[in-house]
Amino acid sequence: MAQTMVSMTISKGITGLGLGPETDFAELCMEMKVPFVAAIAYDGWERDWPEESRKHYWDLLEKAEDVVFVCGRGYGPWKIPQRNKWIIGQAEALIAVWNERAGLVGECVKAAVGNGLRVKIIDPRWYGREGQQAA
């Protein structure tokens, strides 16, 4: 992912701060001294996560340049797609770790392409948990 960020000349990141690649992206932004915005689907997003993951999430929120709770408080099945629409509306490019199957990531990629964003897909089979593409 770091190589992709450099090749796309990322000057600011936007992440939904979900577990996995979204959190890894925020960490890479910090390592590369790229400011990032945490675009959170709803207040309470992390409520059911393991304690260690929640603490890490809160730490990342503190380090974000800005935090936006896109859909207010509490879960709703429409809130993650709405957050993705918000991100697409703010972004110039999209880096997605995606297996090319139907689902929320696929919908986000289609919306990004439809809005004329530059899109880079990272195959999850080659994605390392340290936020790097595996060799």
* Residue range 68-107, pLDDT digits in tens: 999 999 999 999 999 999 999 999 998 888 888 878 888 8
**Look-up: residue for tokens 């919908």?**
107
Long-range contacts formed by 82-89: CB under 8 A, 24+ apart? 82/41, 83/16, 83/39, 83/40, 83/41, 83/42, 84/16, 84/108, 84/111, 85/111, 86/39, 87/14, 87/16, 87/39, 88/112, 88/115, 88/117, 89/115
The low-confidence residues of the chain, meaning pLDDT below 50, are 129-135
Give the per-residue pLDDT at 129: 47
| Residue of 77, 95, 76 lying closest to 87 (CA atoms) | 95
* pLDDT value of position 4: 63
